[in-house]
């Protein structure tokens, strides 16, 4: 008999106070670290030592700190890009490919239109990256608006095309003859490099990130356009009732999203690597999707979350070296954190009732 | 009532304080079609969902063939021989007809005996006239065919009693008559059928008994032969009880809004609006009565640009607005209060402030900046605060998400927004659908008074409602809608006998009704 038996049910919360969000996030992190500790223990590694290594390699010295920032930078820019789409509930899963296209376009600008003047060269690279990244996403947006083609599938598939396209060039006739066969272009000329800051590997892409963060926040929160996007993401039928044009907005939002992702790709090759090479992106486009959701589509939060992601990436590498753990183990740790944080979301909107 | 296949006695069901069914008795005998009639929210679906095992009653008992039963799930109900076909058929679109037969059945072998199942389907189809290709995929089938599959599935699983929830609302007339011949076959074979419907003529022609529900209670169960459309309509709607509303004599002004012979398709294809003409005058309310599902929503959507008209014209202050965009209608001071408040009228995840400007955010003072590219949130907050105050809305703050408001407050916010938006400019047009649905007594009165107040201020108002008392108390003229057409527009509705309105709602043209009909009906 179910009547009178012990039952656990969930009930939607009427309101979700701010402290609860913080509390849940902290608790989720603690839970993830705890579960990670169990996992590390069975790997034959002292969890405390392993977490020490992660922490040290991420924040241990000024250099480590800056390296974490280097890892976080592209993730943070791309997460701003996807945030725009997600606010409208348009699923741009293709930021990875859009970033690759941006990098490719920037490299093409350097190769075919080299300019001595730094400002001119960089402006050209920015424009090319934004245009190509934007067009790459805009195509998917147009297909969605015009023929209702599922943008999850189209953006994801476009990722693979972008990846192979990039490989075609770096393995092909863009390859540096002196690279000993490595798939990479010749180093960029100096005027095509974003300068590095404070003697670290952090580069001027940081300024781009900060400007974009404020700009996106303002666009979403302060402008008519941002208001429309938020309404469309919340209730498409109410948006139509308010006379908003859904199709046009999808194309525009996808274009801008792709453009920002393209700029992220350009910053990475121009600021960090100084050349275009195969596989430069390390899946930043996918990590950024998670970051965008973990930061509740808040641009400022995404700065913080990206930095934590960067720490995890940097720490993971150190863990592989000093603890001789395979790459997969660090992926498990990352997965656990995401799992707990996203699982914790449930408790922000639901109350558990017992009895 | 001996020999009832199924009997429900004293069934009561409450949902968090609201009583959906109150001590309802209902039975189905072998070989009969029993109609269940009532307005939206009268408790028909709740009652049948209890019989089908989806809900458990708080009080009361259910008997199958005289033995008490307790259903925990639809699976229990089906085992006891009770099947239900919902308005949405709950079929797996990508699978075949025969695969859908065994959906949810226990004890099916690992390797599906497709041949056997198909043989059994063929047998049942022939017996009941439900012709269908068992190997067809559901998504290839028309709506009518899908319904046949849904019925077939219940018979396949041995249902003796079949509940059909508004089965004809999605069918063409030809498909509907096929459905009725299937229903006849079923009753000949000794099945019992429960027929939930709004359509009076179908109920009168196709059923043996009728049970009318109103506000969760049984009004009466009568033999169909002993009743007629207008008395059924009266039972559904209750007595003509004058509402105490202060409505000064109308002083209609100029024609602000004019519609000529518009046609429009429904969501699923067939035409829902079939040649409607009307005009709205400043300072006047035109009411639209009609049983639900006769094209009310589609009409409203046509009039505000949310649904394209296939032919006909719409003009606002002599400006042609046929198939204009929703934004243009708003800019022409045409305002719409939809029935689906949270699904269409509001973005419920956003807060009170955000929702207050939903239909005016592009105009001053909300929109600022040299290009109008910015939103002045200070102005938005002032607007929200004014609506909250003017309409007595209890909302903790302008930053409260709208989904946390009660139903009454949500509706007041929606009304407040549209009525305040309509306060400036030329004589506004207000199209309002089911304004007091689900509201408590105080909120209902408040909303009605505010609508009448706008009429006093010169608005031209179209009021669509299922509440005849409300319509009679508020309308200066009353149109009756039936299957997408007006059965007539009454100039002095308060002087007309309610039986006449009932006959019109059942599909008789106003001019075809003579006094003798009314006397016969009463």
| C-alpha B342: how far from chain center | 16
- Which pLDDT does position B404 carry in this prediction? 80
Ranges of residues in chain A with a pLDDT under 70 are 1-18, 21, 349, 351-355
User: What are the residues facing B63 on neighbouring strands?
Assistant: B7, B68
- The helix or strand, by DSSP H or E, that contains position B473, with its residue range, turns out to be helix B468-474
Place of tokens 């929702």: B355
Q: Taking CB atoms and an 8 Å limit, are B359 and A234 in contact across chains?
A: no
CA distance B79 to chain A (A): 19
Cβ–Cβ < 8 Å for B414, B337: yes
Q: Which residues of A touch B375 (CB under 8 A)?
A: 222-224, 227
- Which pLDDT does position A1 carry in this prediction? 36
Tell me whether residue A286 is in a domain. yes
Q: Which residues of A touch B400 (CB under 8 A)?
A: 15
Reading the block at residue B120, the tokens are 């059994």
Q: Structural domains in chain B?
A: 4-237 (3.40.50.300), 244-333+422-522 (3.40.50.300), 348-419 (no CATH)
Give the end-to-end CA distance of chain B in Å, rounded to a whole number.
Answer: 28
Which of B306, B354, B362 is closest, CB to CB, to A240? B306
CA distance B308 to chain A (A): 13
Q: Which residues of A touch B362 (CB under 8 A)?
A: 224
Position B130 confidence tier, pLDDT thresholds 50, 70, 90: confident
Q: What angle do CA A290, A292, A293 make, to 5 degrees?
A: 70
The region that residue B157 occupies, defined by phi over 0 for left and psi between -120 and 50 for alpha, beta otherwise, is: alpha
Euclidean distance between CA atoms B347 and A232, whole angstroms: 9
Cβ–Cβ < 8 Å for B431, B335: yes
Which of A223, A234, A238 is closest, CB to CB, to B375? A223
Q: Which residues of A touch B377 (CB under 8 A)?
A: 222
Q: What residue of A is the nearest CA neighbor of B345?
A: A238
Euclidean distance between CA atoms A55 and A33, whole angstroms: 12
Reading the block at residue A97, the tokens are 């490919």
DSSP B387: H
Euclidean distance between CA atoms A82 and A258, whole angstroms: 8
- Whether pLDDT at B361 is above 80: yes
CA distance A12 to chain B (A): 11
Phi, psi for residue B272 in degrees, rounded to 5: -110, -25
pLDDT tens per residue across span B151-178: 989 998 888 999 998 888 767 667 788 8
Euclidean distance between CA atoms B124 and B139, whole angstroms: 22
Tell me whether residue A37 is in a domain. no
Q: What angle do CA A28, A31, A34 make, to 5 degrees?
A: 150
Tell me whether residue A27 is in a domain. no
C-alpha separations of A32 from A35, A42, A336, A338 in Å: 5, 16, 6, 8
- Which of B160-164, B218-222, B303-307 has the weakest average pLDDT? B218-222
Q: Taking CB atoms and an 8 Å limit, are B373 and A235 in contact across chains?
A: no
- Whether pLDDT at B54 is above 90: no
Cβ–Cβ < 8 Å for B184, B132: no
Q: Taking CB atoms and an 8 Å limit, are A241 and B367 in contact across chains?
A: no
Which of A222, A231, A240 is closest, CB to CB, to B350? A231
- Whether pLDDT at B342 is above 50: yes
Which of A225, A234, A238 is closest, CB to CB, to B345? A238
The residue among A2, A1, A24 whose CA lies nearest residue A349 is: A24
Q: Taking CB atoms and an 8 Å limit, are B347 and A243 in contact across chains?
A: no
- Which pLDDT does position A293 carry in this prediction? 83
Euclidean distance between CA atoms B83 and A260, whole angstroms: 56
- Which pLDDT does position A140 carry in this prediction? 93
Which of B325, B354, B373 is closest, CB to CB, to A243? B325
CA distance A177 to chain B (A): 51
Euclidean distance between CA atoms B227 and B209, whole angstroms: 10
Q: Taking CB atoms and an 8 Å limit, are B326 and A240 in contact across chains?
A: yes
Q: Which residues of A touch B359 (CB under 8 A)?
A: 241-243
Tell me whether residue A336 is in a domain. no
Report the C-alpha dihedral over residues A139, A140, A143, A145, rounded to 10 degrees: -110
- Which of A180-189, A310-319, B100-109, B422-431 has the weakest average pLDDT? B100-109
Instruction: Determine the residue among B300, B347, B376 to mutate to test chain A binding: the one whose Cβ has the most chain A Cβ atoms within 10 Å.
Output: B347
β-pair type (B374-375, B367-368): antiparallel
Q: Taking CB atoms and an 8 Å limit, are A243 and B326 in contact across chains?
A: yes
Which of A224, A235, A243 is closest, CB to CB, to B348? A235
CA distance B156 to chain A (A): 30
- Which pLDDT does position B496 carry in this prediction? 84
CA distance B324 to chain A (A): 11
Q: Taking CB atoms and an 8 Å limit, are B359 and A242 in contact across chains?
A: yes
Residue B518: how many other CB atoms lie within 10 Å: 17
Kindly report the length of chain A.
355
Give the ranges where chain A is alpha helix by DSSP (H). Answer: 18-42, 47-59, 62-87, 95-112, 118-147, 151-171, 205-222, 224-234, 236-241, 246-267, 284-294, 299-323, 327-349
Tell me whether residue A116 is in a domain. yes
pTM: 0.73
User: What are the residues facing B213 on neighbouring strands?
Assistant: B218
Tell me whether residue A42 is in a domain. no
Give the ranges where B199-322 is alpha helix by DSSP (H). Answer: 200-206, 229-237, 296-303
Cβ–Cβ < 8 Å for B417, B356: yes
Tell me whether residue A342 is in a domain. no
Instruction: Determine the residue among B58, B328, B358 to mutate to test chain A binding: the one whose Cβ has the most chain A Cβ atoms within 10 Å.
Output: B358
Which of A231, A238, A243 is closest, CB to CB, to B330? A243
Q: Which residues of B touch A353 (CB under 8 A)?
A: none
Q: How many CA atoms lie within 13 A of B169 on its CB side?
A: 20
Q: Which residue has the higher pLDDT, B123 or B113?
A: B123
CA distance B456 to chain A (A): 27
- Which pLDDT does position B229 carry in this prediction? 78
Tally the domains of chain A.
1
- Which of A13-27, B30-44, B144-158, B302-316 has the weakest average pLDDT? A13-27
Whole-number mean pLDDT of chain B? 85
Count contacts between A and B (CB, < 8 Å).
Answer: 71
Cβ–Cβ < 8 Å for A278, A166: yes
Q: Taking CB atoms and an 8 Å limit, are A14 and B404 in contact across chains?
A: yes
Q: Taking CB atoms and an 8 Å limit, are B374 and A223 in contact across chains?
A: yes
C-alpha separations of A85 from A97, A210, A252, B118 in Å: 15, 19, 10, 48
- Which pLDDT does position A343 carry in this prediction? 82
Q: Taking CB atoms and an 8 Å limit, are B344 and A225 in contact across chains?
A: no
User: What are the residues facing B163 on neighbouring strands?
Assistant: B84, B194
Query: 3-class SS at B41?
Result: coil
Which of B306, B329, B358 is closest, CB to CB, to A231? B358
State the angle between helix axes of A62-87 and A47-59 in degrees (0 to 180), rounded to the nearest 10: 90
Task: Please give the residue range of the domain that contains residue A94.
Answer: 76-294
Q: Taking CB atoms and an 8 Å limit, are A224 and B359 in contact across chains?
A: no
Q: How many CA atoms lie within 13 A of B285 on its CB side?
A: 29
Q: What angle do CA B381, B384, B388 make, to 5 degrees?
A: 135
Q: Taking CB atoms and an 8 Å limit, are A224 and B375 in contact across chains?
A: yes
| C-alpha A283: how far from chain center | 9
Reading the block at residue B109, the tokens are 């072998």
Average pLDDT of B259-283?
Answer: 89
Q: Which residue has the higher pLDDT, B83 or B519?
A: B83
Q: Taking CB atoms and an 8 Å limit, are B372 and A241 in contact across chains?
A: no
- Which pLDDT does position B516 carry in this prediction? 64
Residue B89: how many other CB atoms lie within 10 Å: 19
Euclidean distance between CA atoms A86 and A139, whole angstroms: 17
Instruction: Determine the residue among A18, A238, A244 to mutate to test chain B binding: the one whose Cβ has the most chain B Cβ atoms within 10 Å.
Output: A238
Residue A251: how many other CB atoms lie within 10 Å: 19
Query: 3-class SS at B476?
Result: coil
Q: What residue of A is the nearest CA neighbor of B301?
A: A241
Q: What angle do CA A250, A251, A257 make, to 5 degrees?
A: 85
Which of A223, A230, A243 is closest, CB to CB, to B373? A223
ipTM: 0.77
pLDDT tens per residue across span B372-381: 788 889 988 9
CA distance A216 to chain B (A): 14
Reading the block at residue B361, the tokens are 């955010």
Positive or negative, the Cα torsion across B448, B451, B457, B461? negative
pLDDT tens per residue across span A96-126: 999 999 999 999 998 898 888 888 999 999 9
Euclidean distance between CA atoms B504 and B482, whole angstroms: 8
Euclidean distance between CA atoms B207 and B461, whole angstroms: 39
CA distance A250 to chain B (A): 18
Residues in A lying within 8 Å of B, measured between beta carbons: 14-15, 222-225, 227, 230-231, 234-235, 237-243
Q: Find all residues with CB under 8 Å of B119, minimum gap 6, and list them.
A: none
CA distance A233 to chain B (A): 9
Which of A222, A224, A243 is closest, CB to CB, to B372? A224
Reading the block at residue A314, the tokens are 């940097």
Euclidean distance between CA atoms A111 and B258, whole angstroms: 65
Which of B305, B306, B347 is closest, CB to CB, to A235? B347
The residue among B66, B70, B35, B37 whose CA lies nearest residue B55 is: B70
Euclidean distance between CA atoms B420 and A281, whole angstroms: 53
Radius of gyration of chain A (CA): 22
Cβ–Cβ < 8 Å for B35, B224: yes
Q: Taking CB atoms and an 8 Å limit, are B354 and A225 in contact across chains?
A: no
Q: What angle do CA A228, A232, A235 make, to 5 degrees?
A: 135
Q: What residue of B is the nearest CA neighbor of A244?
A: B327
């Amino acid at each position: 008999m179910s009547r009178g038996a012990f039952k656990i049910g969930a009930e939607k919360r009427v309101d979700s106070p701010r402290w609860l969000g913080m509390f849940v996030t902290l608790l989720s992190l603690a839970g993830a670290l705890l579960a990670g500790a169990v996992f590390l223990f069975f790997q034959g590694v002292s969890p405390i030592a392993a977490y020490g290594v992660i922490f040290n390699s991420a924040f241990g010295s000024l250099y480590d700190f800056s390296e974490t920032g280097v890892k976080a930078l592209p993730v943070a820019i791309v997460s701003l890009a996807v945030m725009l789409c997600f606010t409208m509930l348009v699923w741009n899963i293709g930021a990875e490919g859009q970033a690759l296209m941006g990098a490719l376009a920037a490299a093409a600008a350097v190769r075919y239109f080299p300019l001595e003047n730094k400002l001119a060269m960089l402006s050209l690279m920015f424009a090319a990256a934004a245009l190509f990244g934007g067009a790459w996403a805009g195509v998917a947006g147009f297909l969605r608006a015009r023929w209702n083609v599922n943008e999850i599938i189209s953006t994801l598939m476009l990722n693979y095309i972008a990846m192979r396209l990039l490989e075609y060039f770096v393995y092909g006739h863009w390859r540096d003859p002196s690279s000993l066969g490595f798939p990479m272009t010749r180093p960029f000329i100096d005027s095509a490099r974003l300068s590095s800051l404070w003697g670290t590997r952090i580069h001027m892409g940081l300024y781009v990130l900060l400007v974009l963060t404020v700009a996106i926040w303002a666009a979403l929160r302060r402008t008519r356009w941002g208001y429309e996007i938020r309404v469309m993401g919340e209730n498409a039928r109410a948006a139509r009732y308010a006379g908003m044009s859904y199709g046009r907005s999808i194309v525009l939002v996808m274009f801008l999203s792709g453009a920002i992702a393209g700029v992220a790709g350009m910053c990475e090759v121009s600021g960090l690597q100084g050349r275009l090479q195969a596989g430069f992106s390390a899946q930043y486009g996918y990590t950024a999707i998670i970051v965008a959701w973990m930061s509740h589509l808040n641009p400022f939060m995404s700065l913080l979350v990206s930095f934590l992601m960067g720490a995890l990436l940097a720490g993971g590498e150190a863990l592989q070296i000093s603890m001789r753990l395979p790459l997969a183990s660090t992926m498990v740790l990352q997965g656990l954190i995401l799992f707990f944080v996203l699982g914790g979301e449930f408790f922000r909107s639901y109350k558990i009732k017992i009895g | 009532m001996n020999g009832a296949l199924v009997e429900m006695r004293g069934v009561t069901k409450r949902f968090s304080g609201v009583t959906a069914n109150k001590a309802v008795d209902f039975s189905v005998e072998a070989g009969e079609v029993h109609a269940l009639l009532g307005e939206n929210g009268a408790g028909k679906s709740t009652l049948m969902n209890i019989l089908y095992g989806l809900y458990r009653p708080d009080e009361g008992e259910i008997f199958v063939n005289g033995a008490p039963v307790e259903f925990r799930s639809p699976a229990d109900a089906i085992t006891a021989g009770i099947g239900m076909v919902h308005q949405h058929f709950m079929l797996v679109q990508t699978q075949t007809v025969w695969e859908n037969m065994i959906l949810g059945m226990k004890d099916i072998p690992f390797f599906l005996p497709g041949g056997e199942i198909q043989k059994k389907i063929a047998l049942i189809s022939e017996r009941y006239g439900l012709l269908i290709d068992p190997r067809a995929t559901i998504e290839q089938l028309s709506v009518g065919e899908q319904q046949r599959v849904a019925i077939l599935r219940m018979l396949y699983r041995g249902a003796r009693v079949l509940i059909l929830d508004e089965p004809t609302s999605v069918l063409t007339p030809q498909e509907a008559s096929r459905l009725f011949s299937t229903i006849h076959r079923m009753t000949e074979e000794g099945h019992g059928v429960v027929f939930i419907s709004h359509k009076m003529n179908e109920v009168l022609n196709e059923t043996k008994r009728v049970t009318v529900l109103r506000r969760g209670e049984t009004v009466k169960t009568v033999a169909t032969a002993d009743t007629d459309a207008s008395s059924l309509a009266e039972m559904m709607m209750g007595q003509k009880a004058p509402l105490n509303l202060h409505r000064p004599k109308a002083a209609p002004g100029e024609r602000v809004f004019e519609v000529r012979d518009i046609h429009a398709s429904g969501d699923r294809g067939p035409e829902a609006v079939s040649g409607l003409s009307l005009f709205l005058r400043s300072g006047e309310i035109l009411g639209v009565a009609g049983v639900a599902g006769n094209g009310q929503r589609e009409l409203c959507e046509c009039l505000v640009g949310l649904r394209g008209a296939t032919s006909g014209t719409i003009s606002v202050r002599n400006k042609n607005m046929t198939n204009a965009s929703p934004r243009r209608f708003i800019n022409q001071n045409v305002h719409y209060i939809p029935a689906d408040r949270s699904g269409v009228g509001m973005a419920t995840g956003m807060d009170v402030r955000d929702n207050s400007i939903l239909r005016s955010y592009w105009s001053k003072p909300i929109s600022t900046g040299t290009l109008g590219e910015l939103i002045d949130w200070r102005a938005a907050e002032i607007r929200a605060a004014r609506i909250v105050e003017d309409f007595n809305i209890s909302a903790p703050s302008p930053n409260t998400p709208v989904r946390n408001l009660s139903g009454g407050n949500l509706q007041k916010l929606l009304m407040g927004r549209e009525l305040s938006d309509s306060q400036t400019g030329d004589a506004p047009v207000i199209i309002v659908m089911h304004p007091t649905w689900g509201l408590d007594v105080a909120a209902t009165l408040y909303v009605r008074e505010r609508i009448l107040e706008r009429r006093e201020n010169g608005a031209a108002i179209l009021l669509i409602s299922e509440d005849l008392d409300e319509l009679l108390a508020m309308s200066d003229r009353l149109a009756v809608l039936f299957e997408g057409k007006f059965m007539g527009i009454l100039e002095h509705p308060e002087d007309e006998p309610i039986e006449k309105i009932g006959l019109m709602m059942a599909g008789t043209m106003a001019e075809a009704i003579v006094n003798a009909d009314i006397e016969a009906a009463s």
